[in-house]
C-alpha cells in the first residue's frame, strides 16, 4: 500500500529520493521503510560504526572503554552491542551510561567504506576511575578467558544525545581488558532532542 505523506518525513523523503533517484508523490507498494536493507541506511545518513579493538591495561581500579557522542555533533549515537573479549579471570563486566569519562579519545571506525571516516562518535579509555554511571547490563563469566557479551544492548540499545556516553567496564579491579562496542549514528532533528 502506498504511504501518502511520507514526503513530509525528511529522513524518509531523503531515502526515497536517493534510492529511486527521482521526486515522487507516493511510495510504490512493497517498500517497508523501517525494515530496509543495511546498505540503504547510508542513504538516510545513518552510519554504522565500531570502536575496533580497544586494549586497556590493568590499573589502579577498573579498566573501562567509553563511547561518547561529543557535544556539538548534531547527531544521535545508538550503541547496539559490546563485548569484553576473553576476560582474564572469572568475574563480571558491566555496561553503564554516563560513567566517568576516560582519556585518550580516538575516533570510532565507520563500518561503511562509503562514509569512512565520517562518524563523529569517539571512544576513550581509563583504568583509574572505578565503576560509575547508570548500570544497564551486568555479565558474569564463570571461567577464565570467556567473552562477556552484552545481552541488553542488542535488545534495547542506548541512544546517546550530545554529551552522553556508554561504558563497558571490567568489574575486576586492576585487570586489563580488550573490548569492542558498536552501533550506528545519524543526524538528530530538533524535535527528537526536546524533552
pLDDT tens digits, 26-45:
676 776 666 668 888 888 88
Per-residue cell: 101: 569519562
Same domain, 115 and 165: yes
> Is residue 169 assigned to a domain?
yes
Same domain, 108 and 35: no
Same domain, 91 and 139: yes
Q: Which residue has the cell 541488553?
A: 152
Same domain, 107 and 70: yes
Same domain, 125 and 97: yes
Total tally of structural domains belonging to the chain = 2
Q: Is the pLDDT of residue 111 over 90?
A: yes
Residue 184 and residue 49 in contact, taking contact as beta carbons nearer than 8 Å: yes
Same domain, 19 and 115: no
> Is residue 1 assigned to a domain?
no
Higher pLDDT, residue 192 or 128: 128
- pLDDT band, residue 2 (cuts 50/70/90): very low
Residue 99 and residue 132 in contact, taking contact as beta carbons nearer than 8 Å: yes
Nearest in space to 105 (alpha carbons), one of 148, 53, 66, 147? 66
Same domain, 134 and 175: yes
Q: Which residue has the cell 572469572?
A: 90
> Is residue 184 assigned to a domain?
yes
Helix (H), strand (E) at residue 16 = helix 10-20
Average pLDDT of the residues in 141-155: 97
The residues facing 20 across adjacent strands are none
> Is residue 195 assigned to a domain?
no
Average pLDDT of the residues in 59-72: 97
Same domain, 114 and 77: yes
Same domain, 111 and 147: yes
For 134, the domain range is: 47-190
Condensed to tens digits (0 to 9), the pLDDT of residues 93-110 reads 999 999 999 999 999 999
Same domain, 94 and 178: yes
Same domain, 40 and 77: no
Amino acid at each position: 500500500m502506498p504511504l501518502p505523506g511520507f514526503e513530509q518525513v525528511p529522513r524518509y523523503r531523503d531515502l526515497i529520493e536517493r534510492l529511486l533517484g527521482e521526486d515522487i508523490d507516493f511510495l510504490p507498494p512493497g517498500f517497508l521503510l523501517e525494515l530496509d536493507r543495511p546498505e540503504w541506511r547510508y542513504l538516510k545518513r545513518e552510519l554504522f560504526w565500531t570502536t575496533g579493538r580497544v586494549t586497556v591495561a590493568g590499573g589502579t581500579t577498573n579498566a573501562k572503554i567509553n563511547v561518547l557522542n561529543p557535544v556539538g555533533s548534531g547527531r544521535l549515537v545508538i550503541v547496539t552491542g559490546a563485548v569484553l573479549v576473553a576476560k582474564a579471570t572469572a568475574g563480571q563486566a558491566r555496561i553503564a551510561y554516563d560513567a566517568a569519562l576516560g582519556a585518550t579519545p580516538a575516533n570510532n571506525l565507520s563500518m561503511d567504506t562509503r562514509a569512512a571516516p565520517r562518524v563523529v562518535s569517539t571512544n576513550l579509555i581509563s583504568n583509574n576511575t572505578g565503576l560509575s554511571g547508570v548500570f544497564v547490563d551486568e555479565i558474569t563469566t564463570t571461567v577464565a578467558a570467556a567473552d562477556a557479551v552484552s545481552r541488553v544492548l542488542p535488545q534495547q540499545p542506548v541512544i546517546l544525545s550530545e554529551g552522553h556516553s556508554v561504558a563497558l567496564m571490567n568489574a575486576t579491579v586492576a585487570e586489563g581488558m580488550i573490548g569492542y562496542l558498536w552501533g550506528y549514528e545519524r543526524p538528530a532533528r530538533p524535535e527528537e532532542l526536546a524533552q
